[in-house]
Structure 1
């Protein structure tokens, strides 16, 4: 069964078509990077997965169930969402940030503390940051905290919208390496937006190339490199060298 399915999905903002008659499946365990120019529909597509945007036409399915038929709160609690800078709650401690979704699920303070300990270990964060606030940790640590928070309720789908855009090159490289490992060890399905085709090729097993709301190519990385389907994809591949 597909983790995520788009069935003839279209959406407009005002009179501008953002996504046009798009159909594709993201299988369980895939790491799919979405690449395209600004305004190509990348973020719109991602926000349809967790119900932040409702398509004008067509249906989005998550784990075989139409998003339109799901309780949106429960849907979002079951999907991790990480964006550039991660937008941690500045007034909450790191432990409170990571445990936020768990508190909404009704776990006890002791259960949350134990889960936070596990997550700090999983995402290679020192235990002594748990009582700090976001302004007291590094950018790389903040990014890891954001991913830990996204995964806290053991979501099997993780949506990431240019999450590494605000960190330095060295930190970005290490986060890329770590995310690849977490994807494999945790069995996640990851949808990852990036403007950088080299990052997409490094991280993913599949790449979705969008341009003006239409799929230019959706294929394994090797296929993208060997057989770019259209000139737009060929130009992206050339940029990767």
Structure 2
């Protein structure tokens, strides 16, 4: 099996400051990995680099064994659901936010039914009547789960998650854990939550932009 993501000695410099230095790791389909470390250690920068939001100074990022280039980055983005701490839902109501991607030609023929919308909300412990609510009036934790629901409706297989459990209560967090127990989903995340770290098969520890330790299933 080929890795879905591979960083090969990647260094990134932004505004003359090195934010990632000589980073190398691989992630295979179905694996769940978490980037951890102090604030400013480069965790979110790894996600942003994969999405083509930071220029690579040296080294190569591979996605499905193809080098990341300005032209290939669209392939990464089309396969990926990125969910940050405060997702932008891009529509006035929750229903409109969930259906927004299905207005475009690529997804127009796969518009979910009302039953499918409600089913995915239930999986994430969200009530059906949230569909009528304004996006601006729901909590940060609800926005994260709506963004996750949209990724699931689109059939995304790779999830880049930035502190997605930070605003969730125990019940909602368990619902997110349950969703990502699916072996078909690949996860590269940023988190400080000890429960999330325990659930991930791989822990990448960063310090000052360097990968200092890799733990797999509890082993270094």
Please report the TM-score for the alignment, with normalisation by the length of structure 1: 0.79
2:96 pairs with 1:96 = yes
- How many residues are aligned here? 218
Q: What is the CA distance between 1:14 and its match in structure 2? A: 2.8
TM-aligned CA distance change 1:110 to 1:95, over 3 Å = farther
User: Match for 1:208 among 180, 204, 210?
Assistant: 204
Q: Deviations for 1:151-170, whole angstroms, at most 9, x for unmatched residues? A: 332111100111233x2xxx
Would you say the 8 A contact 1:6–1:24 is kept in 2? yes
Question: Which structure 2 segments of 5+ residues have no match?
Answer: none
Q: What is the CA distance between 1:117 and its match in structure 2? A: 4.1
Corresponding residue for residue 132 of structure 1: 133
Q: Deviations for 1:182-236, whole angstroms, at most 9, x for unmatched residues? A: 112362111110234x244333111000001111111224125xxxxxxxxxxxx
Corresponding residue for residue 6 of structure 1: 7
Q: Which has the higher helix share?
A: 1
Q: More deviation in 12-21 or 133-142? A: 133-142
Q: Deviations for 1:89-113, whole angstroms, at most 9, x for unmatched residues? A: 3x42212212222323444488244
Runs of 4+ residues deviating >4 angstroms: none
Q: More deviation in 9-18 or 62-71? A: 62-71
User: Match for 2:219 among 184, 201, 223?
Assistant: 223
Aligned-residue CA RMSD (Å): 2.4
Question: Which structure 1 segments of 5+ residues have no match?
Answer: 225-241
Please report the TM-score for the alignment, with normalisation by the length of structure 2: 0.86
